[in-house]
Structure 1
Amino acid sequence: MLFSIESMVKRQEAAVYLYGVSTFSSMLAMKRGHNQELAAIAGLLHDYYFFKTGIVEFPGPNSAETARVILRDTGMFTKEEQLTVLRSIFYQQDNSRSYDPYEEMIKDAITLQLYFQSTVCKLSRTDVKRLEKLLSELGFLGESLEEMMILADEETRSRPNDEKRRKLADIAEMLAGEEIVGVPGDKRYQEICKYWPDPNIYTVLRNSWCASFVYHVCRLAGFLLPIRYPNAIHRFAGVGAWLEWSQLPETGFFHRDEQAGFTPQRGDIVIYDKLLSDRAHDHIGIVLAVTEKEILVAEGNRDNANYSSIFYRDRRHCILGYIRIDNNYQYRFSGDYNPF
């Protein structure tokens, strides 16, 4: 698994950190009377996505999605065992949950690894309390850790931002205008593909990267999402994921074409229906301008021809609807994670 990480330095860092968390997880499982193997596997995979991609946001959801494929493809685990491991990974930063022993073991193991691995350890106040309880459980006594730690902010609060959709359009216009070519040798295309941990991602996205282009632009504009919304059918590398996500009760961002009271505008995301194939919702782009009969769009993989472009499309032809993301939208998930 670690050999799939190309950078030798990152591979070494991953080995030290992931094996450390895995060892602590196994130790805690043994002490608390739980399955050591499942705990060790969860510890080993809990931050794999970061070491694979270098992307720090959403370590739980993104590593769970990456681990889901790994566990599935081994064929060695029951669905119940997979769910135990994946939930432990998914909820690793959720301190509001404390009833699952495996989820708690991963949180505890991460805290122990950070404490013992680093001489300058940054922990939140909540994690300091967790560490004090852990060290007491393990028989270590000492001074108050609050004086020894550099306390991290409990929560980074984002300010309201009414400029994100404008930035979305501006960035899409800039990138699409560069006529990015969907080949591994194009570094701009590499940036679009970097979010997806598949070893064969260039093959997976060949002539099919319009949704990945939208995901990339959204991230650059400040609309941050995990690679797959929890419990969703698709990843955001596919158009179906955008349609599914935009119609959730917690979003409600989707507007059907010619919906009463809605007029598309710059910064909206347009979803096409049977535009390039016989399949529903088969293409996606970003609106730059609107006229009575046409929309100016920025698209990755224009017409499945494997390059980005800015051009006009007929407003009355094969448009399913539009996604208008709220400028202040922030990803939050408080439901029960079940990827099966």
Structure 2
Amino acid sequence: MSTRAELAEIAKLEALRPFHGILPDEEANIQPIVSLFPKWNIEQADRNWCAGFVYYCCVKAGFSIPYSPNECISCSLAGCGGWEEFAIGDKRIEYHCGSDDNFIPEAGDIVLYDRVINNLEHDHIGIVLEDKKDKIIVAEGNTYNDNVSRVLVRYKDEHIRAYVRIPDDFSY
């Protein structure tokens, strides 16, 4: 049984591992993430694997989602834009704009960001671990574009583009 609560627990553990891409004097350890995307390699993923981390955690939590669902017209779930297309295109998945003050994020929700890494729309993604009044605790890959995963605090502000809520036991 795959649940968002289990997804949050797995994401926390995996982020604290931590995963990292190519670092000075350290070999990358993101092969388990990269291997889920057949057309990708570590060099291509380097500094661009936040969405791959989210997908990896979803798979590890037991969610049945192909890396490139039909709803992902422009890319696969290795990209933040692919997650947005997938969520909007599959009516079983909830998609909530970040500006929706009535939506309360829960552990296991996926959060899409604008302008936190590259100053672009949907340039980053993470998994909500906990909701606070004006902040969320999240697990993310490739945080701050430093090529490392971690658990951190993000403010609920204009950088949150949307939340994606995959139903428990979701199967594509």
TM-score (norm 1): 0.47
Contact (CA 8 Å) 1:165, 1:325: kept in 2 or not? yes
Larger-gyration structure (1/2): 1
CA distance in 2, matches of 1:311, 1:293: 14
Amino acid of the structure 1 residue aligned with 2:9:
D
Q: Is the 8 A contact 1:169 1:267 kept in 2?
A: yes
Q: Any residues of structure 2 matched to 1:23-62 within 5 Å, and which?
A: none
Instruction: State the distance in 1 between where 2:74 and 2:37 align.
Output: 16
Distance 1:205 1:327, change over 3 A: same
Is this contact kept in 2: 1:298–1:310, CA < 8 A? Answer: yes
CA displacement, residues 262-311 of structure 1 (integer Å, 9 cap, x when unaligned): 20111111000122223211000001111112111100100111000111
Which letter does structure 2 place at the counterpart of 1:256? C
Structure with bigger helix share is 1
Q: Quote the sequence identity (%).
A: 35
Q: CA deviation at 1:258?
A: 3.6
Residue-pair matches, total: 168
In the aligned structure 1, how far is the partner of 2:8 from the partner of 2:93? Answer: 20
What is the alpha-carbon distance in structure 2 between the residues aligned to residue 294 and residue 246 of structure 1?
A: 23
SS of the residue corresponding to residue 259 of structure 1 reads: coil
Q: Identify the residue that residue 10 of structure 1 maps to in structure 2.
A: none
Aligned to 2:7: 168
Runs of 5+ consecutive residues of structure 1 not aligned to the other structure: 1-160, 332-340
For normalisation by structure 2, the TM-score amounts to 0.90
Unaligned regions of 5+ residues in structure 2, if any? none
Instruction: Give secondary structure in 1 for the equivalent of 2:152.
Output: strand
1:131-153 CA deviation, whole Å, 9 max, x = no partner?
Answer: xxxxxxxxxxxxxxxxxxxxxxx
**Cα distance per residue 1:150-172 (max 9 Å; x no partner):** xxxxxxxxxxx4x5111100000
CA RMSD of aligned residues (A): 1.7
Equivalent of residue 212 in structure 1, options 14, 32, 52 = 52
Q: CA deviation at 1:249?
A: 4.4
Matches within 5 A, 1:145-294: 161=1, 164-183=3-22, 185-187=27-29, 189-198=30-39, 201-230=41-70, 232-259=73-100, 261-294=102-135
Distance 1:202 1:249, change over 3 A: closer
- Tell me which stretches of 4 or more aligned residues in structure 1 moved more than 4 Å: none
Give the 3-state SS of the residue equivalent to 2:139 in structure 1. strand
Q: Larger RCO: Structure 1 or Structure 2 (Cα < 8 Å, ≥ 6 residues apart)? A: 2
Q: Distance in 2 between matches of 1:222 and 1:254?
A: 21
Partner of 1:325: 166
**One-letter identity of the residue aligned with 1:197:** P
Instruction: Name whichever structure is richer in strand by fraction.
Output: 2
